[in-house]
Amino acid sequence: MAEVLTIALPKGRVGEECLPLLAAAGIVPEEDPRNSRKLILGTNAAGLKLIIVRAADVPTYVQHGAAELGITGKDVLMEHGGEGIYEPLDLRIAPCRMMVAGRKDAPPVEGRLRVATKYVNCTRRFYAQQGKQVEIIKLYGSMELAPLVGLADRIVDLVDTGNTLKANGLMPLEHIADISSRLIVNKAAMKMKHARVKELIKLIRAALDKLA
């Protein structure tokens, strides 16, 4: 009987974009996650199931062993910290950049910089590496609004084309990291279920090369 493995798949666009990759690796869910209300899905592969969770929760499920593997963005891993997790593959899905952005016409900031972001840990680390203390204002969305209404001097957010920044009179100022979706693995599972996990990584790597 095959060892059971669970992959934590993120809800939304990234999860949908993972499906062709998984299919190329020979892994097809028994029901389409886009149409099913089920949060645990069997697959055509023996002993392999998927759980559907919020992207931000994927590292937590993998870290604590509720899933042996998972797929999530590098931004989520950076914010989470990635303790107890290996990151063997860059899946090259949903590539973008984590950037500092601000108003084009903004005067120099006097005193402590105010930065609006949902990436509190990433932002704090980035400025700490520059020896700067900043005031971080946590927001969950519509980040571009913060500098326009005087809530913050800068924002830290993911930038794809940059069109949203431009439309709101903002511009990218500093590059923090290149972001894409990653395959992650629980460190204990890598030891305890080594052969099965390594085989699955190998299949997904081959599928990546096939789709490249």
Tell which residue, 40, 6, 25, has the closest CA to residue 199: 25
Q: What pLDDT is stored for residue 1 in this prediction?
A: 54
Average pLDDT, the chain: 95
- pLDDT higher than threshold 70 for residue 137: yes
Per-residue buried b or exposed e for 113-151, using 16+ beta carbons within 10 Å of the residue's own CB: bbbbbbbeebbbebbeeeeeebebeebeeebbebbeeee
Beta bridge partners of 177: 98
Q: What is the mean predicted confidence (pLDDT) over 174-186?
A: 97
CA distance 74 to 58: 11
- pLDDT higher than threshold 70 for residue 2: no
Q: What is the pLDDT of residues 144-174, one digit of tens each?
A: 999 999 999 999 999 999 999 999 999 999 9
- DSSP three-state, residue 48: strand
> Does one domain contain both 29 and 82?
yes
Determine what percent of the chain is predicted with pLDDT higher than 70: 99
> Does one domain contain both 34 and 77?
yes
Q: What pLDDT is stored for residue 44 in this prediction?
A: 96
- pLDDT higher than threshold 60 for residue 76: yes
> Does one domain contain both 117 and 84?
no
> Does one domain contain both 87 and 20?
yes
> Does one domain contain both 147 and 187?
no
Q: What is the pLDDT of residues 91-104, one digit of tens each?
A: 999 999 999 999 98
Cβ neighbors of 84 (< 8 A, separation 6 or more) are 62, 63, 64, 186, 187, 188
The tally of domains found in the chain comes to 2
Query: Angle CA(71)–CA(84)–CA(120) in degrees, nearest 5?
Result: 70
> Does one domain contain both 90 and 114?
no
Helix%, strand%, coil% for the chain, nearest 5: 35, 30, 35
> Does one domain contain both 26 and 105?
no
Beta bridge partners of 158: 98
> Does one domain contain both 139 and 117?
yes
Residue 34 to residues 17, 37, 45, 114, Cα–Cα distance (Å): 11, 8, 19, 39
Which pLDDT band holds residue 3 (cuts at 50, 70, 90)?
confident
- pLDDT higher than threshold 70 for residue 85: yes
Which pLDDT band holds residue 176 (cuts at 50, 70, 90)?
very high
- Chain-centroid distance of CA 145 in Å reads 23
Strand order from edge to edge, sheet including 135-138: 135-138, 114-117, 154-159, 96-103, 170-179
> Does one domain contain both 186 and 173?
no
Q: What is the mean predicted confidence (pLDDT) over 175-196?
A: 96
> Does one domain contain both 109 and 170?
yes
> Does one domain contain both 207 and 165?
no
> Does one domain contain both 166 and 61?
no
Range of the domain at 144: 96-178
Q: What is the mean predicted confidence (pLDDT) over 76-96?
A: 94
- pLDDT higher than threshold 80 for residue 18: yes
Please report, for the domain that includes residue 167, its CATH number: 3.40.190.10
- Is the Cα dihedral 71, 30, 33, 36 positive or negative? negative
Beta bridge partners of 101: 155, 172
CA distance 185 to 22: 16
- pLDDT higher than threshold 90 for residue 197: yes
Q: What is the pLDDT of residues 38-60, one digit of tens each?
A: 999 999 999 999 999 999 999 99
Q: Are 32 and 80 contacting, i.e. CB atoms less than 8 angstroms apart?
A: no
